[in-house]
């Protein structure tokens, strides 16, 4: 199932925050992405209704299996492409911004081919 780029960004943000902090609430996503509270609220409702996340009674957000799968895929692409571009001499901020756009449009086949050709971009 293909989901919108914005949903991929939300899922990736949830994963990144949970890796840093251990728990995620809507306000953490507001702070991470810089969107308004109402926008995050609507997005979380849509993600919850479509089975990507669950929200407990205290407002803590968890990725469900299909949400985690998408989040991990986006996170892997983002970190790999950012490191690769930086290793090519691209400024870190530019590389991060470009990686954020590239990660959503690149096919799985192309991404795997790049990974195979490049190897570990930190070497």
What pLDDT does residue 3 have? Answer: 74
| pLDDT 10s digits, 85-116 | 999 999 999 999 999 899 989 999 999 999 99
What is the dotted CATH code of the domain comprising 5-69?
Answer: 1.10.10.10
Domain ranges of the chain: 5-69, 70-118
For the purposes of burial, counting CB atoms within 10 Å of the CB of 114, is it exposed (0-12), middle (13-18) or buried (19 or more)?
A: middle
Instruction: Specify the CATH number for 70-118; select among 1.10.60.10, 3.60.20.10, 1.10.260.40, 1.10.274.30.
Output: 1.10.60.10
CA angle 92, 26, 28 (to 5 degrees): 40
The token pair at 81 is 């492409």
pTM: 0.86
**Token match 């996503």: residue?**
29
| pLDDT 10s digits, 5-26 | 889 999 999 999 999 999 999 9
């Amino acid at each position: 199932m293909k989901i919108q780029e914005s949903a991929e960004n939300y899922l990736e943000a949830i994963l990144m925050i949970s890796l840093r902090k251990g728990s995620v609430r809507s306000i953490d996503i507001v702070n991470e992405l810089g969107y308004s509270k109402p926008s995050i609220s609507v997005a979380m409702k849509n993600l919850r209704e479509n089975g990507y996340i669950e929200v407990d009674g205290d407002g803590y957000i968890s990725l469900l299996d299909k949400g985690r799968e998408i989040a991990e895929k986006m996170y892997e692409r983002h970190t790999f492409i950012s490191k690769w571009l930086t290793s090519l001499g691209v400024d870190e901020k530019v590389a991060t911004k470009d990686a954020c756009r590239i990660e959503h449009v690149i096919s799985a086949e192309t991404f795997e081919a790049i990974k195979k050709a490049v190897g570990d971009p930190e070497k």
